[in-house]
Structure 1
Amino acid sequence: MALLKVKFDQKKRVKLAQGLWLMNWLSVLAGIILFSMGLFLKIELRKRSEVMNNAESHFVPNCLIGVGVVSCIFNSLAGKICYDTLDPAKFAKWRPWLKPYLAICVLFNIILFFVALCCFLLQGSLESSLAHGLRSGMKYYRDTDTPGRCFMKKTMDMLQIEFQCCGNSGFRDWFEIQWISNRYLDFSSKEVKDRIKSNVDGRYLVDGVPFSCCNPSSPRPCIQYQLTNNSAHYSYDHQTEELNLWLGGCRDALLGYFSSLMSSMGVASMIVWLFEVTITIGLRYLHTALEGLSNPEDPHFESEGWLLEKSVPETWKAFLESLKKLGKGNQVEAEGAGVGQAAEAG
């Protein structure tokens, strides 16, 4: 027994075809939006590539770009098919291709659903990528004379200013690395020599941060050096001077930014997926309603449309049986090829 059977007269079939035509062209627009979102996310990731150490982060934008292009192609074709169903002569050429086309549409809907899920599930991979990339960026901050790293200082400074953050997880991260280039250190100075000798790695470490960590909302001039030494500055307490520096780390700031972007794109992809599922269901009804016409040349008769020709359990059983037959067919072919090779060898 057919599942969700609906009766259609000529007027209902025409309205269904016209409605699907409009929905398909709206889906073309939705495909362009998906493509644009994927392109925007890819550009944003490229802009931060120097502080992100993970090529897998481009999987989501690449998928969005791909499904956006495919959506435009599929829905343009579906719009043409729906338009031609109004003319029996034009529809005759599409009739043999409708069933395979619907199967491809179902596959596309499954892929689109998983792409939407990836927008939510792959946000966690960004955190480790950002943590490692920011550590590398801070490490190479001082290498302004080294080819390939000479722009890292500018990148980190612009990042901290734009996202109002400091360091990887906080401003104290700068205390653990030498971020001042050796060319700006006076190695004849006793203070410099003492600081270099004070750690086993021979680095010049200070309790200071780059200027880009300064908060312009601070009522006093920014204090960058000797941040933990209250006696080095007048009327200063590093534990209460919250406006002096950006307190948040850049990892959390960037993670929040990209997570909000990917969540928005995931929601948009889910909405497009629901729209595409609705179109696929409508196309299935239109297909079965037109197939059910006793005389396709005379569309004035009533016909029945359905979603599945059999019930869900029967359809699933038939699908599994077809897979088994396909597997057995491949096995027989493989055995036949093996026998043939053995006969030739003999």
Structure 2
Amino acid sequence: MPFMSVKFSLQKRVKLAQGLWMLYWVSVIMGILVFSLGIFFKIELRKRSELMDNNESHLVPNLLILVGMLACGANAFGGKVCHDSLDPIKFAKWKPMLKPYLLMCCGFNVLLLMTALLCFLMQFAVYLTLAEGLKNGIKFYKDTDTPGRCFMKRTLDMTQIEFRCCGNNNFRDWFEVQWISNRYLDMSNDEVKDRVLSNVEGKYLMDSVPFSCCNPGSPRPCIQHHLTNNSAHYDYDHRIEELNIWTRGCREALFSYYSSMMNSIGVLVIITILLEVGYMAGLKYLSTALETMADPENPECESEGWLLEKGVKETFAELLTKLKTLGKINQVEEGGDAQEGLNIPLKPSGSQSEVRTETGTILL
């Protein structure tokens, strides 16, 4: 007995075909959206690639671009099949392709599911690569004359301005590195020399941050030097001056930005999977309803459509039987190949032959 069988009249078949045709083209638009989001995500990662420790995070946008292109092609084909399904001559051309197409859609849904899972699971990898990349970015901030790091200062400054953040974890990360190049330090100044000599590694460390950490909403001019020295500025207390500079770390700000993007894309891919499953079921109903028409020349006749030709248990049992049969066939073929490799001639029964040895004659 067919699984989930439904009776179809001409009117129901027409409505099903038209509805599937419209929904398939909606899926084409969703495929374009997934493709566009993959391109956008890749561009956003490229823009700040200097602040990332590796390129592993590009796996997600590359998959999004791939599945977006496949979704456009597969759904456009499904829409064309639904459009031609009510014309017997045109549908006869597509009929042999329906089973491979449905199998391909199953594989495509598995790929979509993997992409959605990666959108959620790869967020931890993005967090780690941001942590290490921002740490190195702050360390190489001053190396504007070093090849490969010339634009690190500009990238980090623009990131801090755009995301309203400062440092890796917070603004105090700038206190632990020398972010001013030696070429801009007056080594004849006693204060500068004392600060350099007082450090074990000979670095010029101070409680200051770059200008990009300044908050433009501050009511007073930005204080970026001697941040922890209250006596260095009039009417200043660094413990309550929250509006002076950004207190949020760039790792938290960037991770929040990328994780929200990846979560949104993952939800969109899951919705696409649900729609694809619905389209497959609808196309299966439509194809079986057209195949079971009692009189194909009379479009007014009723027909029956189903998802599975047999019950769920019978279908799985038949599938397992086919797999076991296929395994036995492979074993027989391997055994036959091995016997051919030995190439041992067999002696007909009832005949004998002699083999002479040093000890005597043996009859075979």
TM exceeding 0.5: yes
What residue number does 2:362 align with?
A: none
| 1:301-345 deviation line (CA, Å, top 9, x unaligned) | 22111112222233233333333333343344344444444449x
Shift, 1:32, TM fit: 0.9
What residue number does 1:61 align with?
A: 61
Shift, 1:193, TM fit: 2.5
| Partner AA of 1:314 in structure 2 | E
TM-score, normalised with respect to structure 2:
0.89
1:160-171 alignment, distance < 5 Å: 160-171=160-171
Shift, 1:247, TM fit: 0.1
**Range moving further from structure 2, 335-344 or 177-186:** 335-344
Distance 1:199 1:208 in 2: 16
**Range moving further from structure 2, 291-300 or 38-47:** 291-300
Distance 1:291 1:257 in 2: 51
Partner of 1:267: helix, strand, or coil?
Answer: helix
What residue number does 2:172 align with?
A: 172
Partner of 2:258: helix, strand, or coil?
Answer: helix
Distance 2:229 2:324 in 1: 76
1:185-334 alignment, distance < 5 Å: 185-334=185-334
Shift, 1:151, TM fit: 0.8
Change (3 A) 1:11 1:331: same
Distance 2:283 2:235 in 1: 74
| Partner AA of 2:216 in structure 1 | P
| Partner AA of 2:290 in structure 1 | L
Identity of aligned residues (%): 62
Change (3 A) 1:52 1:327: farther
Change (3 A) 1:188 1:330: farther
| Partner AA of 2:158 in structure 1 | M
Distance 1:39 1:28 in 2: 17
**Range moving further from structure 2, 184-193 or 7-16:** 184-193
Shift, 1:196, TM fit: 2.2
Gaps of 5+ in 2: 345-364
**Range moving further from structure 2, 256-265 or 314-323:** 314-323
| Partner AA of 2:27 in structure 1 | S
**Range moving further from structure 2, 298-307 or 168-177:** 298-307
What residue number does 2:4 align with?
A: 4
What residue number does 2:75 align with?
A: 75
What residue number does 1:130 align with?
A: 130
| Partner AA of 1:216 in structure 2 | P
Distance 2:153 2:330 in 1: 60
**Range moving further from structure 2, 285-294 or 311-320:** 311-320
| 1:128-152 deviation line (CA, Å, top 9, x unaligned) | 0100111111111000111111111
What residue number does 1:157 align with?
A: 157
Change (3 A) 1:50 1:291: same
| Partner AA of 2:314 in structure 1 | E
Distance 1:205 1:332 in 2: 77
Provide the aligned length of Structure 1 versus Structure 2: 344
What residue number does 1:109 align with?
A: 109
| Partner AA of 2:142 in structure 1 | R
Change (3 A) 1:335 1:140: farther
TM-score, normalised with respect to structure 1:
0.94
| 1:39-98 deviation line (CA, Å, top 9, x unaligned) | 111111111111112322112211111111111111111111111111111111211221
Instruction: Tell me the C-alpha RMSD between the 2 structures.
Output: 1.8
What residue number does 1:97 align with?
A: 97
Shift, 1:169, TM fit: 0.6
Distance 1:116 1:124 in 2: 15
Larger Rg computed on CA atoms: 2
Change (3 A) 1:180 1:343: farther
1:24-43 alignment, distance < 5 Å: 24-43=24-43
Partner of 1:304: helix, strand, or coil?
Answer: strand
| Partner AA of 1:231 in structure 2 | S
Shift, 1:8, TM fit: 0.8
Distance 1:141 1:330 in 2: 63
Distance 2:322 2:237 in 1: 76
Distance 2:223 2:9 in 1: 80
Distance 2:153 2:343 in 1: 72
**Range moving further from structure 2, 323-332 or 127-136:** 323-332
Change (3 A) 1:199 1:329: farther
Shift, 1:293, TM fit: 2.2
Change (3 A) 1:294 1:181: same
Partner of 1:223: helix, strand, or coil?
Answer: coil
